[in-house]
Structure 1
């Protein structure tokens, strides 16, 4: 962890990948909850690069090929890719604050170019493997994992100047419980490893994380954690962009982060979809901060 004693924070206050307002305030909510203070108390040097500017269209929704706010998402993704590339070159552990999950188009584009075989843990209630053809909504926040695999609109897949960013065999999805038909077909076609809530309920989080760590350790040279707060049951985390009942518990999520910290395989992370408008007293942002702390090695004793 010595090389990661510096934390580079980038905020992306974007809600353009979907229709529900509020997740654009996620980075502010997490900073307000004491993220920087928590990390500094753990002995990290924290460099906060601030927020990527968001350019909202003045002429309404862009419905090109069923993709909502396509041009705006492209612009933000390119800027985030560039910012993270610079931050990584300066050293430190990249920590991205969202914003809706479409931000991972830019974050993974900026991170993956620094690895030959980047692995991704997609901790999420959703698979986010839709394309314009399979998406029921046209919301780009349901497409980023497919886009990073090189599937989807060419202007999105070529962010950062290279395609693809990820290989299917280097991805593990954890906590999924809302998967569309097109995503289900793609998961089977590509052989993507998925631990749904069924596996977590049946086998327990310890076994799931042991399998995940072993699986990715053998085939990757870095691992990006993409943590959507809607993976957690809304009983614990009500302030999220797309809540789905029957999710991972608060303690299971802490255990997952603690096991990842012990494994030392995670080389970058993002925490997304915190929506203060739907939250209770910033509860979900508080949970996000606690999970970040556990991921970066905070222990009870």
Structure 2
């Protein structure tokens, strides 16, 4: 509760009003207006008035006013907000790749950056995959999946999501075989590490334009952009870029997250708290093309859920999971997907996972989904539908020195890879290899 709202309900107790007569007018106003409430609770002020003599009360108010003066904004002393130069052609920091780099003397196509046969012994890449740099590399290599890092770290919650791409690359836990079909994804799919996209670490607004363009360029080659954030604000340009390449209305969006990300009243125009709102508000995705799963936490209130319902969003809260069981919720989700296009964009905010499996979620929320339920669902979706985009966001590795959170984030990404590989290899989403199901003894 802020000072102004507190002041509306607080008055100087009658038996203490005499203590104010000894104060100067400005000091008296500081108390009666409630301005002191920003620095001291009302009950403590009442105690101080009752226990101090006039001189000590004057000294206390003088000290509080001095604190207030230091906390407030003084134009002659304090730096104002740094204005954003909307006409600038470059980021605040970092160097955009110059055109001269395209003159590199090599044939287009993915190339290895590994020194030895085993990729983990050389330069780390997602899934130990070869590297691609330009769209012509994706085309020449007939690339199915381009995994790309987006290390933006300007979202709400606990920071460090910008380190997730590097951490997830460094673990050799992507591209493990599918336990259902025993298919190895990199033997079926052409997968590349497409590097990290440049971000402006001082402006999410400026970053989204570049990310949107790069995602659209990637998707335009026919490759599926598989994006590793970074905070969840990047969901907006990720989906927007795919929509520019594939066309609005050509795909559905399934989003897993604790947070509805549908805040229409926040100060900033784009953040992790507004990603889904902007996608719907701008018509990039229609509400009835969106299914969101795992909602819980402070942002899930009557107004937000009503807004989602009014916009025809199919939402599934943890209340539904707790009452009906996850299997029942999953069956309903799969029924709802029948009305969506065959093509699908799958988005994961790791906050959807229970903290026992994902302590490094930037916007952590208790009582979430089990990692087994999430990976099972993601694998099924990526095996059953034509995936046009995938995104996993908001894993802040610094918050979990055990690396369990990074291992589980990779498991979610790998679940989509193996699902896509199983689909390309001709397996149905529920098919299981006999050797994987029974020992036969």
TM-score by shorter chain over 0.5? yes
Provide TM-score, normalisation by structure 2.
0.57
CA shift for structure 1 position 226: 0.9
- Report 1:91-240 matches (<5 A): 91-113=222-244, 114-117=246-249, 118-131=251-264, 133=265, 135=266, 140-150=271-281, 163-178=282-297, 179-240=300-361
1:159-200 deviations in Å (ceiling 9; x for gaps): xxxx42100011111000121454233113213111111222
Shift of 1:76: 1.3
State the match for 1:50 in structure 2: 195
Aligned length: 270
State the SS of the aligned residue for 2:191.
strand
Matched residue of 2:418: which SS?
coil
Matched residue SS, 1:247? coil
Report how far residue 137 of structure 1 moved: 9.1
Instruction: Calculate the TM-score normalised by the size of structure 1.
Output: 0.82
| Aligned equivalents of 1:83, 1:138: Cα separation in 2 | 21
- DSSP-derived class of the 1:49 partner: strand
Larger RCO: 1 or 2 (CA < 8 Å, sep 6+): 1
CA distance in 2, matches of 1:206, 1:92: 32
Unaligned runs of 5+ residues in structure 2 are: 1-141, 178-182, 420-431, 437-441
**Which string of whole-angstrom CA distances, capped at 9 and with x for unpartnered residues, describes residues 86-134 of structure 1?**
1112222210000110001110110123134221111001110002x2x
C-alpha separation in 1, matches of 2:371 and 2:148: 25
Q: What is the distance in 2 between the residues matched to 1:136 and 1:199?
A: 32
Query: Once superposed, what is the RMSD of the aligned Cα atoms?
Result: 2.5
Secondary structure of the 1:110 match is helix
Structure that is richer in strand per residue: 1
Structure 1 unmatched runs, 5+: 58-71, 151-162
What residue number does 1:18 align with? Answer: 156
